[in-house]
């Protein structure tokens, strides 16, 4: 029995046999083609190219049907690459002019581009390398007769193990049989993770060399909560995980049936539970699980999955669709959080040395004003349709906040001059995601209507840990005393100024932290819609006094391990049926 650790991306426990994908970079034979046969060899390449385009078109249609328009645009982008003369021209030249066999011409040309992208040291270019790698595999599959159709022919439950998994492979899997995914490489925010999470299976990435330790058919336990994979478990371990999985399944079923219950503590304190979404279609699930509205609409996904920047009308349509689906519930739109490892796909920017400390989020918007103003126009126009709030991400200085508000006001004035009705009372807020903003919360509170504490980045910047780096993943924890003190400072500052405060990081959906967050003074949480029912379960079983007592107790601790242990103990006491799976920490 071997246990391998990685980065948890999507929760759940999967128990099944392993399905190991072979390495994508195949060894391709090289030989010269005599002049009289080169036209035929070129035609063979063109047929493979056409077949690959057909596969992509089918995958695009399938992604549209199963995952929605945004996901399908990834394949539109790939189709565009397959028509790029800078990619295809050298291949045709090698075959026609130099007599290189089509297989090797494809492999050598694509490999050169892939290696160049990987050598640039930026996640942006690594993502581009994966796109090119996927195209190389598709063409070689048809040329060499080794099509990767195994995934679509699955007839039993499996956990897929791979070095890397391209977005195309993730979307083209037989999802009825794939019950989990684990990879050597990858991070929480790449395209594969986004699509895998949409498929609804547990995912663990960044496992280093898992492909070297797992063989086809090995029994696998994949724990998407703890980010662990157990290979060939003994009978005792297998039985333990099976009991945990079954208990969690029962717990989820029971909580889903109680989704309409009010999120009110035993002593009558009401907690507002909002949803974090990326697509309008997620609102249906949000309402199903009893959400009170949208606390975080991540608007950049439309940019990430499209080869071209969306128009004002496309943005307006998305926002108004969301408002109408919410039926009077509030919609909080976060302006673009581009930059760092998230760029629109058509951009070919020179990579920054440290992109997470570079031109990202509000900084990116303030330096790309036409794009920023276009989004703000769409947002303000949509505000006339229903309740809407505007939120600026990653504010670090008062200057940034004032600049963003000034641009918003200018756009509103322009629209009114055009005869467009723009409400004058749109709530304006900001995210607290960096220590400087948390420490200056009292000052920022004078300029905004609400705060949203983004703990994903706040933890990262406070403890200097990249949350997608598996080497230091153990240091990335919301139970760090410094993080808790910063959150407490924001809540207190906001309360003194009468500013509404919510928390929209991952810990909002982790029952381990529910009592602590209530005890610190939060009365609004924003989380993944499917997590709402189980958070309600905790809220409905505790009193405010219990939560405040717990917050005071752990506030005196200096060790994050001790804090996490106590939080887990209290959560297990309150909700024993959820122990062993949802307390991810």
Measuring CA to CA, which residue among 67, 7, 50 is closest to residue 301? 67
Strand 2-5 relative to strand 178-183, pairing: unpaired
What is the distance between the terminal CA atoms of the chain, rounded to a whole angstrom? 25
- Give the integer Cα–Cα distance in Å for 454 and 50: 45
Q: How big, in percent rounded to 5, are the helix, strand and coil portions of the chain?
A: 55, 15, 35
List of residues 6+ apart from 143 with CB closer than 8 A: 44, 45, 48, 102, 103, 106
- Give the integer Cα–Cα distance in Å for 429 and 389: 8
| 504 tagged catalytic | yes
DSSP 176: T
Count of beta carbons in the 10 Å neighbourhood of residue 235: 7
- Give the integer Cα–Cα distance in Å for 375 and 361: 13
- Give the integer Cα–Cα distance in Å for 440 and 188: 29
- CA 249 from centroid of its chain's CA atoms: 24
Task: Please return the burial class of 288, using the count of CB atoms within 10 Å of its CB with bins 0-12, 13-18 and 19+.
Answer: middle
| 163 tagged catalytic | no
Count of beta carbons in the 10 Å neighbourhood of residue 86: 8
Strands across the sheet containing 2-5:
2-5, 228-231, 219-223, 13-20, 158-162, 178-183, 203-205, 7-10
Query: CA-based Rg of the chain, rounded to a whole angstrom?
Result: 25
Measuring CA to CA, which residue among 117, 292, 76, 302 is closest to residue 194? 302
- Choice among 207, 364, 504, 547 that is catalytic: 504
Q: Quick check: helix, strand or coil at residue 527? A: strand
Measuring CA to CA, which residue among 212, 155, 154, 156 is closest to residue 183? 212
Strand 272-277 relative to strand 7-10, pairing: unpaired
Say which residue the tokens 């810990």 belong to. Answer: 507
- Give the integer Cα–Cα distance in Å for 405 and 390: 10
Both tokens assigned to 540: 């409905």
- Give the integer Cα–Cα distance in Å for 178 and 171: 11
- Give the integer Cα–Cα distance in Å for 199 and 85: 34
- Choice among 78, 163, 191, 343 that is catalytic: 191
- Helix-helix angle 191-199:69-81, to 10 degrees: 140
* Backbone phi, psi, residue 10, to 5°: -130, 135
- Give the integer Cα–Cα distance in Å for 326 and 223: 34
Q: Quick check: helix, strand or coil at residue 348? A: coil
* Backbone phi, psi, residue 127, to 5°: -65, -40
Q: Quick check: helix, strand or coil at residue 318? A: helix
Catalytic residue list = 191, 504
């Amino acid at each position: 029995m071997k246990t391998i650790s990685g980065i948890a991306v999507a929760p759940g426990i999967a128990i099944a046999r392993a399905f190991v994908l072979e390495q994508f970079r195949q060894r391709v034979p090289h030989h010269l083609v005599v002049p009289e046969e080169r036209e035929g060899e070129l035609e063979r390449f063109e047929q493979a190219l056409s077949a690959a385009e057909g596969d992509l078109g089918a995958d695009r249609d399938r992604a549209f049907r199963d995952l929605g328009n945004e996901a399908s645009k990834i394949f539109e982008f790939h189709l565009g690459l397959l028509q790029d003369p800078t990619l295809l021209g050298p291949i045709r030249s090698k075959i026609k002019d130099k007599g290189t066999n089509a297989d090797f011409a494809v492999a050598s040309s694509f490999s050169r581009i892939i290696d160049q992208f990987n050598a640039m040291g930026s996640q942006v270019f690594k993502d581009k390398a994966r796109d090119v790698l996927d195209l190389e595999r598709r063409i070689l599959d048809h040329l060499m007769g080794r099509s990767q159709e195994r995934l679509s022919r699955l007839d039993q439950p499996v956990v897929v193990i791979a070095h890397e998994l391209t977005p195309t492979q993730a979307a083209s899997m037989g999802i009825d049989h794939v019950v989990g995914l684990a990879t050597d490489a990858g991070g929480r925010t790449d395209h594969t993770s986004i699509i895998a999470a949409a498929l609804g299976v547990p995912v663990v990435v960044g496992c280093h060399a898992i492909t070297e330790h797992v063989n086809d058919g090995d029994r696998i336990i994949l724990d998407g909560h703890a980010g662990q994979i157990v290979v060939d478990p003994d009978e005792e371990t297998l039985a333990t995980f099976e009991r945990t999985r079954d208990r969690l399944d029962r717990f989820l079923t029971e909580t889903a049936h109680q989704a309409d219950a009010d999120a009110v503590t035993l002593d009558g304190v009401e907690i507002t539970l909002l949803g974090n979404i990326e697509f309008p279609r997620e609102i249906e699930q949000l309402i199903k699980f009893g959400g009170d509205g949208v606390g975080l609409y991540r608007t950049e996904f439309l940019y990430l999955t499209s080869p071209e920047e969306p128009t004002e009308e496309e943005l307006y349509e998305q926002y108004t669709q969301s408002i109408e689906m919410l039926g009077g519930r509030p919609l909080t739109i976060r302006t673009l959080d581009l930059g760092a490892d998230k760029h629109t796909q058509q951009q070919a920017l020179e990579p920054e040395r440290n992109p997470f400390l570079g031109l990202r989020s509000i900084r990116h918007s303030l330096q790309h004003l036409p794009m920023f103003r276009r989004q703000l126009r769409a947002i303000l126009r949509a505000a006339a349709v229903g309740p809407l709030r505007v939120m600026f991400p990653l504010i670090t200085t008062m200057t940034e906040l004032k600049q963003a508000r000034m641009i918003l006001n200018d756009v509103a004035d322009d629209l009114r001059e055009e005869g467009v009705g723009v409400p004058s009372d749109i709530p304006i807020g900001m995210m607290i995601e960096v220590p400087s903003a948390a420490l200056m919360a009292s000052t920022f509170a004078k300029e905004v209507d609400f705060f949203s504490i983004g703990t994903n980045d706040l933890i990262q910047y406070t403890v200097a840990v990249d949350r997608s780096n598996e080497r230091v993943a153990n240091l990335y924890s919301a139970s760090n005393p410094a993080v808790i003190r910063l959150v407490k400072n924001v809540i207190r500052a906001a309360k003194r100024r009468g500013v509404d405060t919510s928390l929209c990081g991952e810990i909002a959906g982790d029952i381990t932290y529910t009592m602590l967050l209530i005890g610190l003074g939060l009365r609004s949480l924003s989380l993944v819609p499917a997590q709402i029912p189980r958070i309600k379960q905790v809220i409905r079983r505790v009193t405010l006094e219990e939560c405040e007592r717990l917050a005071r107790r752990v506030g005196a601790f200096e060790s994050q391990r001790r804090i996490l242990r106590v939080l887990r103990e209290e959560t297990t006491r309150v909700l024993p049926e959820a122990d062993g799976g949802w307390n991810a920490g």
